[in-house]
A and B are shown apart, each in its own frame.
Chain A
Amino acid sequence: MSNQKMTPALTHDQKLDLYYFMQLNRQLEDRLVRLFRQNKIVGGVYSSLGQEAVSVGTSYALEPRDWLAPMIRNIGALLVKGFKPRDIFTQHMAKFTSPTHGKDGTSHFGDLKVRHVVSPISMLGDLIPVMTGVAMAGRYLGQNIVAMTWIGDGGTSTGAFHEGLNLAAQQRAPFVLIVENNQWAYSTPVARQVPIKNLADRAAAYGIASKIVDGNNVVAVYETTKTAVDECRAGRGPILIEVKTMRMKGHAQHDPAEYVPKAMFDYWKAQDPIARYESYLTEHNLWDPKKKSEIDARIEHELDADQKFAEESPLPPAETAEQGVYCEGCHTIEAEWRRPKQDVMPPASSEVAVWKVADFGAFVKTQAVATQHGNRPGHAPRHEPVLSAEKKESISGDEVAGPTGKNQPATGDVAAQVPLRVPFGRGPKDRSVELERRDKVAERPPRHNKPPHKRRRR
């Protein structure tokens, strides 16, 4: 990644903005806890106490056109993206006025059209492939967007994490993955989840760049993320950022977190991101007590109004349970094209369909000693270059023609006879088998050149 000096400095207003959002995040959740105790919350409350700098600092690096998908502890990111406290209150209280009209709770809501927020599901890891798809579609449409999501330390153990990040890497998708290492996954410490100290090390396995940042330092989080976002936008994604932080409460309200050593809480309490940022603002003369109380009062005022709105809102009418399973014309689906459509239509889109194989993958002596960071950021050799102006070159090439090097029909000429090959269910009397047998005797190509489809396999 390029150096951080490239990151444009935050303006004075933006620095106060960061405080505003972190404090709003904290005070909002504080109220959720109180409402929970008053039995006014229908489901659970998942605190992000102590992690506000992560949600706010990362999402603040995105532009309005960019996309994000929050995890459960990323309410701060939703606020930065423009959702209001009332959205969070009503979601938790299952009100008809909530963004999902009571169909789902917590941070499980989004807005595809304006704020570009994808609603998460509970299953950890699944947002990674979905946001990879968002990033791919944005690039395809010429929107020059970046997609971002978060994953907990525990969530990195899922299969979806691997599949999604690998696809993102293979696609070089403009995608930023924030690994929010808060030391705990429900009751399980991170060391019991993974035998590595830094989750960022995983990036090496995907051939992508990574960064580690102090998650309780909002400026550092912002700057690191901003650089990553810029890199991704420039076509050098995806990037993984591990933020080191601490979950300061139990998994949710029901969990007193007695399994966390007290000394660990004490250590991290001294690292509180908001207290640290307040000192920073004071030390750098960016505010005075008057400014602080102004912002705090504004937050109180907003929260009062939105909490009142939520509490006074009705629950959904029961019959709406039956509505909305399918889109029956309620949505108009239209992609926002920021490049000429002709670019992706024939004849411009047509290409020679063969693989360009850069090397034959043979054993090379220097590889015998496995290097720890052998395939770090430079990216593993790829069979397709980054999608770019020279896209035509991508999989066409003259080096080694792949199995279909004979050229496939360049049109949708359906009359063209497809070879009779079925991977299953062909018997010795099938024409395909007969042809294959004949080919084998006739050709016998040199071993290493043998086209894959002619190799024996099951």
Chain B
Amino acid sequence: MPEITMLEAIRQALFEEMDRDPAVVAIGEDIGVYGGAFKATEGLLARFGHERVIDTPISETAIVGAACGMSYLGLRPVAEMQFIDFIACCFNQVTNFVAKSHYRCGAPVPMVLRGPSGGGVHGGPFHSANPEMYFVHTPGLKVVYPSTAYDAKGLLKSAIRDNNPVLFFEHKFLYRRIKEEVPAGDYTVPIGKAVVRRQGSDLTIVSYAAMAHVALEAAATLAKDGIEADVIDLRTLLPLDSETILASVKNTNRLLIVHEDTRTGGIAGEIAAIVCESAFEHLDAPIARVTALDTPVPYSPPLEERFLPNAEKVVAAARELAKY
């Protein structure tokens, strides 16, 4: 099996899905001739033509609106946000039109909205955001945020085949930094299922996307001190796989949640609530979280470093938990 980047895995998923099903079309800014700002759609136009790979004006609302309209005729559009930060420009289309469509009038919207997200690349306040929680708070959407190339490919295929609108976050820090063996052929990874990346019985670390790697790095350090962490990679944020989280916490009795999203209103709060509701008696320690600061993402490297969680911060928090 060839080793490929996460970016390549995403591109592969798009190619294979478009090859499989003529109802799959791609729409976005600079995705055709140019191949996308990050080249995730490179080569799509050459193979599938401009009817299926649609370069649009700079109009996020129109991109999402048109994708929604196309899906009403049974197409499965994959819309790209050049950077996920620009999803703010089409918030209304996503949360009011797309998300509510099935509930309020029985019209399914089988579209995918994907784009590069996340920090660690000095993109500054407008090219680094993790806006997933706006959408996790929006019933009707599914929100997927993979951390590996294998998952990215399998989850994107699942997203395209899903009858519901799926927001697919691609952490741009991971795009070219991770390489792994990914099967060249068809496979899917189910939406809504977390995965245990490392097994341990001393504490549970729940994370996703780039922070899943940070959590694993921290777990390796902790293991040297004899602290064994169960590391869960959520992969999907909505619907959330509470089962996997609860099963782990019931075993480890300690929970640490790590996310790159800002602290207040991040998914850590939601997970903490679920665990308090359903596994309170299993907890031996308060639930801890390591998150980004409650600020916009700053530009300058020392500022962004301060802003982001890292393995050291996770290790420190885990050691505190282990004391209980």
Contact = CB atoms under 8 A, between A and B. Distances in A.
Interface string B82-97: 0000000000110011
B70 A349 contact: no
Interface bin, chain A: 35 or more
B129 to A, nearest CB: 12
B45 A353 contact: yes
B47 A346 contact: yes
B154 to A, nearest CB: 15
A170 B51 contact: no
Contacts of A122: 96
A140 B75 contact: yes
Chief secondary structure at chain A's binding surface? loop
Interface string B51-73: 11010110111111111111111
Nearest to B93: A126
Contact of B11 (A384, A387, A414): A414
Interface in A303-342: 324-327, 329, 331, 333-337, 341
A132 B50 CA distance: 17
A336 B35 contact: no
Interface string A386-405: 01000100110000001110
B298 interface: no
Interface string A96-128: 000110011000111010000011011100101
A153 B161 CA distance: 39
Interface stretch (B36-44, B218-226, B315-323): B36-44
Contact of B52 (A167, A327, A344, A394): A344
B103 interface: yes
B117 to A, nearest CB: 12
A41 interface: no
A195 interface: no
B247 interface: no
B252 interface: no
Contact of A404 (B34, B47, B106, B107): B34
A414 B8 contact: yes
Interface stretch (B17-25, B193-201, B259-267, B286-294): B17-25
Nearest to B301: A427
Interface of B: 2, 4, 7-8, 11-12, 15-16, 19, 22-23, 25, 32-35, 37-39, 42-43, 45-52, 54, 56-57, 59-77, 92-93, 96-97, 100-108, 110, 120-123, 127, 139-140, 142, 163-164, 172-173, 175-176, 184
Given A140-B25, A423-B38, 20 more contacts: A112-B72, A129-B62, A135-B69, A136-B66, A137-B70, A137-B71, A137-B74, A163-B61, A325-B139, A335-B74, A336-B73, A345-B48, A354-B33, A403-B34, A414-B4, A414-B11, A422-B121, A422-B176, A424-B123, A425-B172
